[in-house]
């Protein structure tokens, strides 16, 4: 670690300041800064398997958004990112072999990071990797992990693929993996500082941070955005923006009446900000949309109308069944057990060709499904399907 810091031009003072900042982010006493420094310099590299499901890779982009080497990057370099579909040079069978090799070499010794939701409908055909349902890969990887971290809103609770009108049966990681603790770093995207802090605590104390009932670390999701917002003094004075671009907007007044969901959202965006602490949405003149809250694509819309989150019924869980590969699949070794998925081949399984065909068919009908859903809402009238306020 010391050599790497020197190579990157990071002074000892900067490193210790980073450790002190991490102890603050984690809500640890100041004396823990030296423990963090010692742990980061002596800990062996921890293997990481980073999986991507139904997602836009926005969390990976957030992780890469730094414009110069930082101490946080050095810390992340102490991890061995053995598998990441977005970042690794290998592809195809070589990439899958790298993941399997890491799992075999470090049983219960690697961190599994999952980005994106997990589709469960129709045997998981709406997201496949290497001819296998993504759900099966998540199950396999998480089973042998020492810790599971779900990054972003899609991995938290299904995100936009799980919003009303979706057909893929998308769920978050903790909605699928029931036998292991999942650390949820919700947000669209998550803040990479929170990922760094989570990993730093594990390297220092050999345990992950305490969480709320939704699995979100309390150090990051303990206070509302509103409580720490720079516009809170304007809220208390009842100085609200009335129209985009008006004098209050230009002066940084409170955006609550323009739809800001800060009072209903727990996150530390207003304190640690984004892009190396440069800014965050409210500082740029845009209200919080509540992206760290459950099902925010449904409960927080419309984003630009004042009001509390809508209360809507939870979606019916999909009865997922492990696909049994057909003889022509070759994507899983023979002898795999588990109930067969309906709609498979002659043996009740799903072959590679059927999976690919299902994915293509899904892509074709998603647009039609959205159109029919919009038509049904229009026909029923505003709120006719029990979804609350009018949608645009």
Rg (C-alpha) for the chain, rounded Å, is 23
Q: Is the dihedral of CA 122, 128, 130, 132 positive or negative?
A: negative
The pLDDT of residue 366 is above 50: no
What is the pTM for the complete model shown?
0.74
Sorting pLDDT into bands at 50, 70 and 90, what band is 74? low
SS3 123: helix
Cβ-defined contacts of 334-342 (< 8 Å, 24+): 341/122, 341/123, 342/123
Phi-psi region of 334 (alpha: psi -120 to 50; beta: other; left: phi over 0): beta
Q: What is the pLDDT of residue 348?
A: 35
Q: What is the pLDDT of residue 152?
A: 97
Mean pLDDT score of the chain: 80
Q: What digits encode the pLDDT tens for the residues 21-40?
A: 777 677 677 777 777 777 77
The total of other beta-carbon atoms located within 10 Å of residue 362's CB is: 18
Rounded CA separation 318/131 (Å): 21
Higher pLDDT, 341 or 173: 173
Which of 294, 238, 245 lies closest to 265, judged by CA?
Answer: 294
Strand intervals (E) in 13-166: 46-52, 79-84, 110-115, 118-119, 128-129, 132-133, 145-151
Rounded CA separation 162/127 (Å): 13
C-beta of residue 8 within 8 angstroms of C-beta of residue 77 = no
Sorting pLDDT into bands at 50, 70 and 90, what band is 219? very high
């Amino acid at each position: 670690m010391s050599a790497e810091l020197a190579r990157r031009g990071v002074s000892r003072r900067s490193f210790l300041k980073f450790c002190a900042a991490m102890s603050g982010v984690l809500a640890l006493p100041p004396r823990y800064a030296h423990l963090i420094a010692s742990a980061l310099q002596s800990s062996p590299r921890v293997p990481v398997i980073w999986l991507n499901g139904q997602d836009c890779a926005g969390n990976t982009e957030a992780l890469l958004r730094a414009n110069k080497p930082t101490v946080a990057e050095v810390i992340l370099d102490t991890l061995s990112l053995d598998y990441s579909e977005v970042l690794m040079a290998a592809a195809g069978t070589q990439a899958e072999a790298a993941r399997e090799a890491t799992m075999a070499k470090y049983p219960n010794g690697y961190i599994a990071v999952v980005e994106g939701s997990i589709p469960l409908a129709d045997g998981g055909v709406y997201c496949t990797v290497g001819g296998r349902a993504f759900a099966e890969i998540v199950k396999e990887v998480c089973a042998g992990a020492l810790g599971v971290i779900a990054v972003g809103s899609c991995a938290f609770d299904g995100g936009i693929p799980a919003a009303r009108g979706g057909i893929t049966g998308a769920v978050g990681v903790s909605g699928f993996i029931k036998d292991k603790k999942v650390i949820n770093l919700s947000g669209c995207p998550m803040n990479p500082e929170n990922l760094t802090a989570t990993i730093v605590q594990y390297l220092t104390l050999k345990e992950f941070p305490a969480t709320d009932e939704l699995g979100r670390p309390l150090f990051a999701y303990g206070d509302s955005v509103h409580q720490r917002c720079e516009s809170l003094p304007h809220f208390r004075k009842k100085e609200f923006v009335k129209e985009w671009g008006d004098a209050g907007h230009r002066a940084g007044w409170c955006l609550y009446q323009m739809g800001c969901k800060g009072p209903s959202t727990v996150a530390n965006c207003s304190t640690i900000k984004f892009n190396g602490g440069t800014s965050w949405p409210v500082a740029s003149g845009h209200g919080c949309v509540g992206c760290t809250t459950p099902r925010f694509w449904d409960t927080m819309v419309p984003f630009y109308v004042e009001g509390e989150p809508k209360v809507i019924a939870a979606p019916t869980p999909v009865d997922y069944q492990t696909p049994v590969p057909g003889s022509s699949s070759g994507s899983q070794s023979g002898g795999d057990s588990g109930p067969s998925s309906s709609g498979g081949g002659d043996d009740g399984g799903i072959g590679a060709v059927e999976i690919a065909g299902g994915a293509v068919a899904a892509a074709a009908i998603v647009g039609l499904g959205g159109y029919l859903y919009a038509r049904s809402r229009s026909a029923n009238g505003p709120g006719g399907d029990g979804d609350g306020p009018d949608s645009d």
